[in-house]
Structure 1
Amino acid sequence: MVIEQDVKLSDGRTLRTYDSGGPGSDGPTVVWHHGSPQTGAPLEPLLAAAGARGIRLVSYGRPSYGGSSPLPGRNVAAAAEDVARIADALGVESFALMGASGGGPHALACAALLPDRVTGVVCLAGIAPYTEDFDWYEGMVSPGGLRAAADGREARELYAATDEFDPACFTSADFAALAGAWASLGADAGKAGQAGADGLIDDDVAFATAWGFDLAEVAAPVLLVQGSLDRVIPPAHAGSMLAALPNAELWVRPEDGHVSVLGTCPSAMDWLLARS
């Protein structure tokens, strides 16, 4: 059973939170950071993999997603304080982190800024901090949102008014995953999109501007998982993060795209358990 609750913060905001363990759970805790856009509700394959391993899975909607309050001007680093307050409210002292796509940077932020509480991080198909060391946009089929976000929130809002999903972003393996094991992800993304674009706009602006922390601050072990055929977040991003993180390894998935790479989540959970 998943417990849904709104965690109230000291600034008056609330964060819609989901907990598969509940009070008294003695299993290791993994906090899941959702992609962009998602509601934050736990996805069926994650719940199944966590349950089979005795993991307490916690997830939440970032500001402006899935019933969570907005946080105007948030950067990536802001996730750390939010997750700390969620963990406090749930009585969780230490935890591991997993994040996919847009969730990856936020998972890394928590590791960097909550070093005494985080045991390990998995970042699947995650975007890297903006850099001019390589062409950050190269290989993205549809980089328009991020390019607009680099010019500020107003520019990203204008782009959102006419933005449409380009099916070429996904590979055949991605579409197969969405039609099968990860159908819940597609349904949840649709639900998030119907609620409005504010969360996605804020995410993109946060990704394309200063994150508020440095990857060199991440002391916990990090597993990067990257599909070689990813057309949303190209492999160069994983390579850039691997070079910047002090304690990281990279799993390259030659046949995977942006969604199908999530099939590694059970093995990635095993990786985290070995380090908890």
Structure 2
Amino acid sequence: MRRRIAGLDVHTSVDDVAGLDVLLWHHGSPQTGAILPPVQRAADAHGLAVVSVARPAYAGSPRQPGRTVADVAAGLVPVLEALGVASVVSVGASGGGPHALACAAAMPELVGQVVTFASPAPFTDDEAWFAGMQAPGGLRSAVEGEGSRRRFAETDEFDSEQFVDADFAALEGEWASLGVDAGAAEADGPEGLIDDDLAFTRPWGVALAEVSASVLLVQGERDRVIPPAHARMLEASLPHATLDLHPDDGHVSVLRHLEAALAR
């Protein structure tokens, strides 16, 4: 079901999620926020309803200029209050990872567990932060500000070398819906992706050391989009984090471990 709550475009797997335990899905960059079939299947296997919200400037959620990672989490508080959910497993893929963690900081009484897949770590203003990224142009331009990031968007083209064979296999198989949804998000324009990159390269507004939830950091060791060093930086910053490395996976194929991650 799709509805508007607190000004945001909200998708739920059932009409009424009041009193239910939910998987709060934080989509990657770019995506529309629609509930993807493999996410639904994994949630169903563990008795969880799904709530997925398009971040500002994606799909039907209006742009919030200058938004931070913490701002997005704060905007989700009234959504979850209105829905009346009982508890939350906050799950973020790629660009959704920082927002999954921020929700644990913003709603510690509601979010007891967090799972991230290939999440970027907080920006360090250090060249090492970009090491291992095949195509960091968008993030590098974002460091210079919104004008620079917008100019980059005018000529940006997807670099297929970012993905390894396992990623393409995932996009042709179980996670084909992710590729289709990314295409739909791109057709809506670059605003969401621009604002995500700007948020990732400025302070998040989140104190990771104060996150009380247990966090599982799932990471492919062959990832050329968000390299494994980011998962290790997050592990070092979070008090209750476990690093789950997969040597054969890249940026997309690591999502095949979603159901196993929920089981853990």
Instruction: Flag whether TM exceeds 0.5 (same fold).
Output: yes
Deviates more, 1:23-32 or 1:139-148: 23-32
Equivalent pair of 1:25/1:56 in contact (CA under 8 Å) = no
One-letter identity of the residue aligned with 2:214: P
Residue 164 of structure 2 aligns with which residue? 171
Q: Tell me which of 57, 60, 64 is aligned to 1:67.
A: 60
Equivalent pair of 2:167/2:252 in contact (CA under 8 Å) = yes
Q: What SS class does the counterpart of residue 57 from structure 1 fall into?
A: strand
Q: Give the Cα–Cα distance (whole angstroms) in 2 for the partners of residues 189 and 92 of structure 1.
A: 28
Q: What SS class does the counterpart of residue 35 from structure 2 fall into?
A: coil
Q: Does 1:209 align with 2:207?
A: no
Deviations 1:243-273 (A, max 9, x none): 01000001000000000000000011222xx
Q: Tell me which of 82, 88, 110 is aligned to 1:89.
A: 82
Q: Tell me which of 164, 167, 187 is aligned to 2:180.
A: 187
Residue 219 of structure 2 aligns with which residue? 226
Residue 245 of structure 2 aligns with which residue? 252
Q: What SS class does the counterpart of residue 2 from structure 2 fall into?
A: strand
Q: What SS class does the counterpart of residue 95 from structure 1 fall into?
A: strand
Q: Tell me which of 74, 94, 97 is aligned to 1:104.
A: 97
Structure 2 matches for 1:1-276, cutoff 5 A? 3-7=1-5, 9=6, 14-23=7-16, 26-131=19-124, 135-271=128-264
Q: Give the Cα–Cα distance (whole angstroms) in 2 for the partners of residues 37 and 53 of structure 1.
A: 27
Deviates more, 1:91-100 or 1:204-213: 91-100
Q: Shift in Å at residue 133 of structure 1? A: 6.7
Give 5+ residue unaligned stretches, structure 2: none
Taking a change above 3 Å as real, the CA distance of residues 92 and 27 of structure 1, as seen in their structure-2 partners, is: closer
What is the TM-score when the length of structure 2 is the normalising length?
Answer: 0.97
One-letter identity of the residue aligned with 1:197: P
Residue 274 of structure 1 aligns with which residue? none
Deviates more, 1:22-31 or 1:253-262: 22-31
Equivalent pair of 2:211/2:238 in contact (CA under 8 Å) = yes
Q: Give the Cα–Cα distance (whole angstroms) in 2 for the partners of residues 137 and 194 of structure 1.
A: 27
Q: Give the Cα–Cα distance (whole angstroms) in 2 for the partners of residues 48 and 110 of structure 1.
A: 23
One-letter identity of the residue aligned with 1:38: Q
Q: What SS class does the counterpart of residue 85 from structure 2 fall into?
A: coil
Identity over aligned pairs, percent = 52
Give RMSD over aligned pairs: 1.2
Deviations 1:180-221 (A, max 9, x none): 100000000000001000000000000011111121121100
Q: Give the Cα–Cα distance (whole angstroms) in 1 for the partners of residues 50 and 103 of structure 2.
A: 16
Deviations 1:89-126 (A, max 9, x none): 21114311000000000011111121121111001100
Q: Give the Cα–Cα distance (whole angstroms) in 2 for the partners of residues 93 and 71 of structure 1.
A: 28
Equivalent pair of 1:61/1:68 in contact (CA under 8 Å) = yes
Structure 1: 4+ residue segments shifted above 3 A: 24-27
Equivalent pair of 2:218/2:244 in contact (CA under 8 Å) = yes
The structure carrying a bigger helix percent of its residues is 2
One-letter identity of the residue aligned with 1:67: G
Q: Give the Cα–Cα distance (whole angstroms) in 1 for the partners of residues 126 and 154 of structure 2.
A: 31
Equivalent pair of 2:18/2:83 in contact (CA under 8 Å) = no
Equivalent pair of 2:19/2:86 in contact (CA under 8 Å) = no
Equivalent pair of 2:18/2:84 in contact (CA under 8 Å) = no
One-letter identity of the residue aligned with 1:6: R
Q: Give the Cα–Cα distance (whole angstroms) in 1 for the partners of residues 194 and 241 of structure 2.
A: 29
Q: Shift in Å at residue 22 of structure 1? A: 2.8
Q: What SS class does the counterpart of residue 135 from structure 1 fall into?
A: helix
